[in-house]
Amino acid sequence: MSVKTLLFQNVGIRQTIFKNTFWLTTAETITRFLNLAIIIYAARILGATEYGKFAFALSFVSFFVIFGDLGLSGITTREFSGEEEKERDYPSILSLKIILSLGAFFIMFIGSFLVTTDPSIRSIIWVLTLFILISGFFNIIYAFLHSRQRMEYDAAAKIFQIILMAAIGFFVLFTSPSSINLSYAYLIANVVSLVVILILFHYFFHPLKLEFKKDIWKKFLKISWPLSLGFVTGWLYIDIDSIMMGLFGQITEIGWYNAASKISLAIIISVSLISRSFYPVLSKFFKESKENLQKAWDYQMKLMIILSIPIMVGGFVLAPKIIHLFYGLENYSFSVLAFRILIFITGISFFYYPYCMILIVSNQQKRSFYLILIGAIINIILNLILIPEYSLYGAAMATVMASIIIFLMAIIMVKRFTPVSSRNLIGVSAMSFFSSLMMLPAIYLLGNIFIIIPASMVIYFSVLYLLQHGKLLQHS
């Protein structure tokens, strides 16, 4: 198979999953690396308090951006997958997206007067509101590309967007560093990117036009609104944590907390997108073959287990080195324990994501919505109890406990309401955990983190391969 066929065409199930995963992973790696680089440099230059203002504002608008989408992007991918005749509804979806975005802007604008009395933070919220709503509009474009399983174009658009954002962001941080100027940099980059991507999309994929068909809006909103919380877990709760710490006036603590959480979120979102590349395939198999649906879901679940366990083990042990490398322990020493707690959110999110996805694929998105909503309520209650006493560590613990609860509930929901079953997961979990323990000598004996990480990866996957190979020999 040629490289062109492997990476730019859809010729089979495994090849399509590989191609989609490759491009999503490539784009997400570049995107998260550059975005994290901006955040790290901003945290270093601005300091914990000034960075805390930016992080608080971004968490606030990120939470309420839910109202600007209401699951429309996710349901567009599901409904369009394998059914191109439904693409005639796309102009109505675009118009609905614009209306929802305007409504979300109004909510955030009013909310900015309720969450803070600091005019500088309020100004940052206004600028980042426009930024986050434009970011949300990208998603409706990407949803169309995902439905056609053309993740290579999605990747190209995201890479262009983040390179432009990084260029403008670093320019501002080098020349005139402040949280409000960084917010303007984010906004300008998104506006320019959106104009370019809309032009290319119009001429090469689908003509852009608006149609105001209320029957189409009603049809899609009826099935999409439960997806408004469908594809989120840990990062939604982390936004809630930051907002509630802000309400308690703990702006500097938000800076420490977000320094730790940004690293965890970069891992969660990057690897969740590997899982998300399964979404169009699972949607297709749900309609065509329950046997293939089970096989694809098993493959997804095992992949998440193999990736998550070593990240949790390694991240917990390497927390001081990681925080020191990114931020410097002299200013962000309080972030170490927060990172050690939040790294478990990474693993829980990996485990949870396939369960959440199969609920949505199986038209059980309302149950997925209620799971996240219950978790958010639990998280808020725990935050009210723990933040006043334990500050950022209480917020982190609240998120861990809420995430565990919804994960356990998701397992029960999947067993009762979907055609798949959890099977053969204990073996791969045990092998992954044992292989992770084999990394520990390298982690403790090697001093340089840039040597520790690749050495640990080699050890982990080597041991895992030997265990799996030995298991296969026994069965033969």
Q: Exposure string (b/e) for 342-360, b if CB count within 10 Å is 16 or more?
A: bbbbbbbbbbbbbbbbbbb
Q: Cβ neighbours of residue 381 under 8 Å, at least 6 residues apart?
A: none
**Does any domain span residue 95?**
yes
Q: Do residues 210 and 280 share a domain? A: no
**Does any domain span residue 453?**
no
E-assigned strand segments in 385-463: none
Q: Helix 290-326 and helix 425-437: axis angle, to 10°?
A: 20
Could you tell me how many residues make up the chain?
A: 476
Q: Do residues 245 and 205 share a domain? A: no
Residues 28 and 42: their CA atoms lie apart, in Å, by 20
Q: Which two tokens stand for residue 11?
A: 């010729």
**Does any domain span residue 96?**
yes
Identify residue 405 by its one-letter amino acid code: I
**301-318 per-position pLDDT tens digit:** 888 899 989 999 999 999
Task: Indicate the residue among 423, 447, 463 that finishes a domain.
Answer: 423
**Does any domain span residue 350?**
yes
Q: What percent of the chain has pLDDT over 70?
A: 87
Count of beta carbons in the 10 Å neighbourhood of residue 174: 10
Q: Do residues 31 and 123 share a domain? A: yes
Q: Which two tokens stand for residue 364?
A: 């059980």
**Does any domain span residue 443?**
no
- By the 8 A CB rule, do 134 and 194 touch? yes
**Does any domain span residue 28?**
yes
**Does any domain span residue 459?**
no
Q: Quick one: pLDDT at residue 175?
A: 92
**216-247 per-position pLDDT tens digit:** 788 777 766 666 555 555 567 778 899 999 98
SS (H, E, C) 350-403: HHHHHHHHHHHHCCCHHHHHHHHHHHHHHHHHHHHHHHHHHHHHHHHHHHHHHH
Q: Quick one: pLDDT at residue 457?
A: 92
Q: Quick one: pLDDT at residue 284?
A: 79
Q: Exposure string (b/e) for 10-42, b if CB count within 10 Å is 16 or more?
A: eeeeeebbebbbbbbbbbbebbbebbbebbbbb
Q: Do residues 181 and 246 share a domain? A: no
- By the 8 A CB rule, do 351 and 69 touch? no
Q: Quick one: pLDDT at residue 139?
A: 79
Q: Quick one: pLDDT at residue 72?
A: 75
Q: Which two tokens stand for residue 291?
A: 């046997």
Residue 185 or 132, more confident? 185
Task: Indicate the residue among 176, 194, 229 that finishes a domain.
Answer: 229
**317-349 per-position pLDDT tens digit:** 999 999 988 887 677 889 999 999 999 988 888
Q: Do residues 355 and 208 share a domain? A: no
- By the 8 A CB rule, do 281 and 296 touch? yes
Give, rounded to a whole angstrom, the gap between the first and last alpha carbons of the chain: 30
Q: How far is CA 416 from the centre of its chain?
A: 27
Instruction: Check whether 2 has a pLDDT greater than 70.
Output: no
Q: Do residues 108 and 143 share a domain? A: yes
**Does any domain span residue 467?**
no
Q: Do residues 128 and 246 share a domain? A: no
What is the DSSP annotation of 425-470?
HHHHHHHHHHHHHTTHHHHHH---HHHHHHHHHHHHHHHHHHHHHH
Instruction: Check whether 121 has a pLDDT greater than 50.
Output: yes
Instruction: Check whether 43 has a pLDDT greater than 50.
Output: yes
Q: Do residues 271 and 187 share a domain? A: no
- By the 8 A CB rule, do 297 and 415 touch? no
φ, ψ for residue 433, nearest 5 deg: -65, -45
Write down the H helix ranges in 148-225. Answer: 151-175, 179-204, 214-224
- Residue position matching structure tokens 């001081």: 320
Q: Quick one: pLDDT at residue 156?
A: 83
Q: Do residues 104 and 221 share a domain? A: yes
Task: Indicate the residue among 423, 447, 467 that finishes a domain.
Answer: 423
Q: Do residues 248 and 178 share a domain? A: no
Q: Which two tokens stand for residue 25?
A: 């992973």
Residues 207 and 228: their CA atoms lie apart, in Å, by 26
Q: Which two tokens stand for residue 277?
A: 């590349």
**284-297 per-position pLDDT tens digit:** 788 888 888 888 88
The radius of gyration of the chain's CA atoms, rounded to the nearest angstrom, is 22
Q: Number of C-alpha atoms within 13 angstroms, CB side, residue 109? A: 8
Residues 76 and 234: their CA atoms lie apart, in Å, by 24
Q: Quick one: pLDDT at residue 89?
A: 76
φ, ψ for residue 10, nearest 5 deg: -110, 105
| DSSP state for residue 232 in the 8-state scheme | -
Q: Provide the number of structural domains found in the chain.
A: 2
Q: SS3 of 274, please?
A: helix
Q: How confident is the model at residue 467 (pLDDT cuts 50, 70, 90)?
A: confident
Q: Do residues 309 and 397 share a domain? A: yes
Identify residue 218 by its one-letter amino acid code: K
Burial (0-12, 13-18, 19+ Cβ within 10 Å), 44: middle
Q: Number of C-alpha atoms within 13 angstroms, CB side, residue 387? A: 24
Q: Do residues 220 and 327 share a domain? A: no
Domain containing 76 equals 16-229
